Amino acid sequence: MKTSDIVNLDKLNEDIESIKKILYLDSPDLWIDFSDKIECNNFDEMVLFFAIKYNYSSIIKHAVENNLIDLDSPSRNKTFSSIRDHLISIANKNNNTEISNYLMGINEDVEIEYSSEECPNSEIKEENNSYIPESLCPNCNSNVFNTGYTVSEEITYKFSKESNKAIPTSNKILDSVSCSNCGTTLKGASPSSLESLCTVQNCVSCNLDLTTTGIVDKVRMIYDKESNGFINSNTSYHCSNCDKELSTYQIEYFNL
């Protein structure tokens, strides 16, 4: 990993480790995802999102000055036309004028260089940045949206004198769904419920539309010896109906 002269390597590593600690306490899944990206030198939109959220400008400058990200490529948050616009919005939301001015003032015509050699699984990890719904089979523990699931169709036949054979007169999709990998029936799942999971706005647990049910933010407080009191450590976001924590992609999609 090369480092720009304007970013101190020790400071950069210190800030990265600080974010890792915050994410570890907040969500182990986010911590793993963030750590994997850093290990592969993948300073993508998600990494910079948390860098701005927790006010670590060294990470932003390192990624930009070393051409590790194309700020003018489309944002995964469809509300914004580019990653740059998304990050500037996050900076403004967190009252971070330094990062906001930096992102608005840098040269937009930057040649981007990417190296897949530093991370053999970079293509797989980049694919994982996109929203993928999840419904696990209780038997083989595979995500049926990756391995596939099977639905059954009920068809009613009647004999036709005109054609002298039995012909279908009606058909309907049954609610039963089974895992294509092992054949196990998915209890509580139906074609409609699995289809609803394909929408990023829906909760991955109860399937309800988060824009209707609402989102709850939970603040984790830690004890600070210097102030002799509890201070805000980090915030997590949950479905207000079932308390399921939102995924990284949903957090970015809703610009939280």
- The string of pLDDT tens digits covering residues 32-71 is 888 888 999 999 988 999 899 888 999 999 999 888 999 9
- The string of pLDDT tens digits covering residues 80-118 is 788 988 898 888 887 888 888 888 875 443 333 333 344
pLDDT band of residue 126 (cuts 50, 70, 90) is: very low
Write down the number of H helices and E strands in the chain. Answer: 11, 4
How much is the pLDDT for 130?
55
Distance CA 133, CA 103 (A): 32
- The string of pLDDT tens digits covering residues 170-200 is 878 888 899 988 889 988 888 877 877 777 8
Q: What is the mean pLDDT of residues 148-164?
A: 86
Summary mean pLDDT of the chain: 80
Count of other CB atoms within 10 angstroms of residue 52 = 25
Put residue 167 in one of left, alpha, beta given phi > 0 → left and psi -120 to 50 → alpha.
beta
- As a 3-state breakdown, the chain gives helix, strand, coil percent values, each rounded to 5, of 35, 20, 40
pLDDT at 160 over 70: yes
How much is the pLDDT for 48?
92
**What tokens does 176 get?**
């039963």
